[in-house]
Amino acid sequence: MDCFEIGMRFPSYKLLMETMEEYCQQTQSKFWKRDARTITASRSSGIQKFLNPNIVYYEIKFTCIYGGLDFKSKGRNIRIRNPSLKTNGCPAYLRFKASEDGDALQLVAINLNHNHELILPTKKSVKRKETEGRETPKRNKRIQLLKEMDNVEIEQQEHFSENNDDEEEEEDDVEGLLENTSDVPHLIEVQYEESKDIKTDLEESQCTGLIAPVFTPFNDDEQRTLNLDIIPEYAQYLVDAEITGVLINGTTGEGTLMTTKERKMVTEVWTQICSQTHQHLMVQVGGASLPDVIDLAQHAEQKGANSILCLPELYHKPQTVDDLIRYLQIVGRAAPNTPLFYYHIPSFTNVNINMGMLFNQVGDKIPTFKGIKFTSTLLDEGVAAVKAQDRKFTVFLGADTIMAGAYTLGFDSAIATTLNIFPEHGQRILQCIKEGNITDAQSIQDELNAAIEAITKNGTWVPTMKVAMNLLSPLNLGPTREPLKPLTKDNVLEMKNELVKLGFIQ
């Protein structure tokens, strides 16, 4: 296409992105997404009219990559990024907004007068120092990835340029699934500065922030087989919501309801995707026999997971802090180059070991140990863990309904199911607390809790949340597996009606 015109309509976000790519290729320009408000966010702002879920955003603005101020994500990055793109104040931009009928994204404002020559940046290579004695599977995987990249000068922000041919990935169980990752448009990538090494050391790993524990997609067949084909679209949905970390095979992901082989298949797909989206990937490896846990931990490290989360032994439960440390030592040795987190969820495991005591006693007994996921409403214990050992360890909150209170008391990270469905709420609560705006944080928390109450009214956490995800997102992640009890049609209808009353569904 030659140009955009005011009033142009795009019935889906995907079509808009494809058109932007075509335009950028023809004009040798590059744009990135600067300001955007999703449909979910617009509901919380009072927008009640019908909005086609395929448009994803209520409003969105793209600016020339050489214009405006440096991009600052509204979300909390899992890893520190170092973008170094220089700007010159280019005024070029395009702004789209949901049409009056809500069926499409419509171009409402435009300025395509660039103040610079339209030449695509030249390709650069990454310089690496030779380091002896640091060859690990993870390091080799990252170096190989960089060697295969067609252009490694890429920005933290989403941008549009010529499509690169993807290298073939050979995986025994998922061969061919991701042969053409261009089906996942506009993946956010990170720039490695030329003067720096690729970071692989554990002490340099940044394991904090907001992580979405993703659902495992199943087909609606008798065996509830894995639906791996939808994962690239799922990952892009989270990227668009500025979710920079994902946890797979956890409680939300029904990890304990899958075979070891299935869990490995899910891990292989997500590691391939996250190597391109640069989302932090945490893999839950517990909830199985110890030999299988060891196997899963080794596999996660081999495939390049950024961190590992592990439940305690579920039958021969640890009775003391020393028992738990000994178990985690075994898991840690299976993945000696990957940060390890303990999954504290006593309501499911009935393991009630005090987490502050764990932090105070673990010392250097587990070199890879970095913290815990704290899924409990006992905030006194949680705060003690946060403050233990001069805040040496990361404590991810796992209780969605108390985020505002927990952040006020010192938490700064969370792994919350609702980040899949209402990502803006979790992000805004944390941002408000950082800014000292406790009143607004509590108001947003109250709104989120009302939605949670409506969703979980007629069922347990995972089945109801998965139904809500299917209702409120453009994805269909399928049903849950046995023995989780599915919702009846009446239950789903009641949930939908409650969400309509709350303004989350038009």
Amino acid residing at 484: L
Residue 403 domain-assigned (yes or no): yes
pLDDT at residue 137, as a whole number = 55
Whether 245 contacts 287, CB under 8 Å: no
Structure tokens at 138: 């993870």
In this structure, the strands spanning 394-397 and 369-374 are parallel
Q: Is residue 424 a part of any domain in this protein?
A: yes
Residue 125 domain flag: no
The answer to the question of residue 28 being in a domain is: yes
Verify that 217 and 364 share a domain, yes or no: yes
End residue of a domain, out of 90, 111, 132:
111
Residues 288 and 426 in one domain: yes
Within-domain flag for 186? no
Give pLDDT, residue 331. 98
Report CA-CA distances (Å) from 90 to 67, 86, 93, 154. Answer: 4, 11, 9, 19
**Are 405 and 295 found together in one domain?**
yes
CB 311 within 8 A of CB 349: yes
The reply to whether 195 falls in a domain is no
State the burial class of residue 48 (Cβ atoms within 10 Å of its Cβ: 0-12, 13-18, 19+): exposed
With H, G, I as helix, E, B as strand and everything else as coil, classify residue 299: helix
Nearest to 216 by CA among 203, 208, 226: 226
Structural domain ending residue among the three candidates 70, 92, 111 = 111
Residue 243 sits in the same domain as residue 350: yes
Model pLDDT, residue 45: 62
Are 424 and 290 contained in the same domain? yes
- Of the residues 53, 84, 111, which one is the last residue of a structural domain? 111
Give the span between the Cα atoms of 249 and 419, in whole angstroms.
Answer: 16
235 and 381 in a single domain? The answer is yes
Quote the tokens at residue 475.
């994805």
What Å distances lie between residue 483 and 224, 256, 275, 284, 457, CA to CA? 12, 11, 33, 20, 19
CATH number at residue 399: 3.20.20.70
pLDDT tens string, the chain, 506 residues long: the values are 557 888 899 999 889 988 888 888 888 888 877 677 787 767 656 677 788 888 988 888 888 876 543 333 333 333 343 333 444 568 888 989 999 888 899 998 888 888 877 754 443 333 333 444 445 554 454 445 444 443 333 333 334 443 444 434 434 444 444 443 333 333 323 222 222 232 333 333 457 899 999 999 999 999 999 999 999 999 999 999 999 999 999 999 999 999 999 999 999 999 999 998 999 999 999 999 999 999 999 999 999 999 999 999 999 999 999 999 999 999 999 999 999 999 999 999 999 999 999 999 999 999 999 999 999 999 999 999 999 999 999 999 999 999 999 999 999 999 999 999 999 999 999 999 999 999 999 999 999 999 999 999 999 999 999 999 999 999 999 999 999 999 999 999 999 999 999 999 87
| Spatial separation of the C-alpha atoms in residues 283 and 265, rounded to whole Å | 12
Whether the CB-CB separation of 448 and 416 falls below 8 Å is answered with: no
Element (H, E) at 493: helix 489-501
Q: Answer yes or no: do 207 and 84 share one domain.
A: no
d(CA 309, CA 311): 7
Handedness of CA 71, 75, 76, 79 (dihedral sign): negative
Q: What is the DSSP string of 303-367?
A: HT-SEEEEPPPSSS---SHHHHHHHHHHHHHHSTTS-EEEEE-HHHH-----HHHHHHHHTTSST
Secondary structure in 3-state letters for 390-456: HCCCEEEECCHHHHHHHHHCCCCEEECCHHHHCHHHHHHHHHHHHCCCHHHHHHHHHHHHHHHHHHC
C-alpha 420/C-alpha 217 separation (Å) is 13
Residue 341 pairs in a beta bridge with 309, 371
Residue that is written with structure tokens 């839950």 in the block: 284
Domain housing 58: 9-111
CA distances from 184 to 17, 166, 239, 276, 398 (A): 11, 12, 11, 10, 29
* Count of C-beta atoms within a 10 Å radius of residue 260: 16
List the structure tokens of 14. Answer: 């995907």
* Residues 102 and 233 occupy one common structural domain: no
To the question of pTM greater than 0.85 for the whole model, the response is no
User: Are residue 106 and residue 209 in the same domain, yes or no?
Assistant: no
Q: Are residues 465 and 325 in the same domain?
A: yes
pLDDT score recorded for residue 250: 97
Q: Is residue 485 part of a domain?
A: yes
Nearest CA to 180 out of 197, 172, 168, 192 is that of: 168
Q: Is residue 144 part of a domain?
A: no
105-111/93-98 β-pairing? antiparallel
Tokens read off for 360: 């105070």
SS3 of residue 122 by DSSP = coil
Same domain for 359 and 489, yes or no, is yes
Q: Which residues contact 381 (CB under 8 A, 6 or more apart)?
A: 354, 355, 356, 374
CA 380 remoteness from chain centre: 28
Q: How many domains does the chain have?
A: 2
* Rg for the chain, CA atoms, rounded: 23
Tell me 65's DSSP state: T
One domain for residues 281 and 404:
yes
Neighbours of 183 (CB within 10 A): 13
Supply the DSSP string of 91-119, one letter for each residue: --EEEEEE-TTSSSEEEEEEE---SS---
